[in-house]
Amino acid sequence: MASIRGLSGFGIIALLTLHTANLGETDSNALNEPEVPFPPACPTALNLAAICYYGQYRPRYPPSFFPASGVSHFRRRGYTINRLESWFSLCCAGNVAQSGPQILCCAKEAWKQALNMFCEEEYATMTVPYLCCEEKGDARWTCFNSELPNPYYFPTPGYTAPQSPQEPGFIFNSNSC
């Protein structure tokens, strides 16, 4: 028969082992989840030049980037980035906005429209929506514009985005500027 002291010693060792074991909680990519830096920063006068100049040097996320199943929330994030970069290119190329202030206004509208579409897609699934999607009005934009992985839209060294078709759906309202 085991003694109480022996059992309690075994219990303490077991608890310490479990407490210090790496169960994947500290490894940010323990499940081989795709890395999609999200959310994108709101366009500002400080990052607009980089948004326009480095657009082709920031990652895109084609369907082949994602595993076949199990990462739909990352897929929605990637598609939102693709959509946003496509719409930024419209603003920056002067296709819909002609002057500097209009380009910034256009980029902000593209950002809001892309993130609104993202939230609509989030609510169309049976999963928990992205935290910022639960916010309304300005609180949503403040939430999306916090804890940013790339607030200045720096390019990814050595990366050039593949050619992709223009994403439909963006409508710039120049009267909102």
Which amino acid is residue 130, in one-letter code? Y
| pLDDT tens digits along 70-103 | 788 899 999 999 999 999 999 999 777 778 889 9
Per the CB < 8 A criterion, the answer to whether 59 and 81 are in contact is: yes
Write down the pLDDT at residue 123.
95
Q: At residue 39, what are phi and psi to the nearest 5 degrees? A: -90, 160
Judged by DSSP in three states, 21 sits in: coil
| pLDDT tens digits along 43-52 | 999 999 999 9
| pLDDT tens digits along 142-161 | 999 998 999 999 999 999 99
Q: How far apart are CA 138 and CA 145, in angstroms?
A: 11
Is the pLDDT at 22 greater than 70? The verdict is no
Per the CB < 8 A criterion, the answer to whether 144 and 69 are in contact is: no
Over residues 26-48, the mean pLDDT reads 80
Q: Domain residues of the chain, as ranges? A: 37-165
Other Cβ atoms within 10 Å of 144 Cβ, number: 24
Q: How far apart are CA 34 and CA 37, in angstroms?
A: 10
Is the pLDDT at 117 greater than 80? The verdict is yes
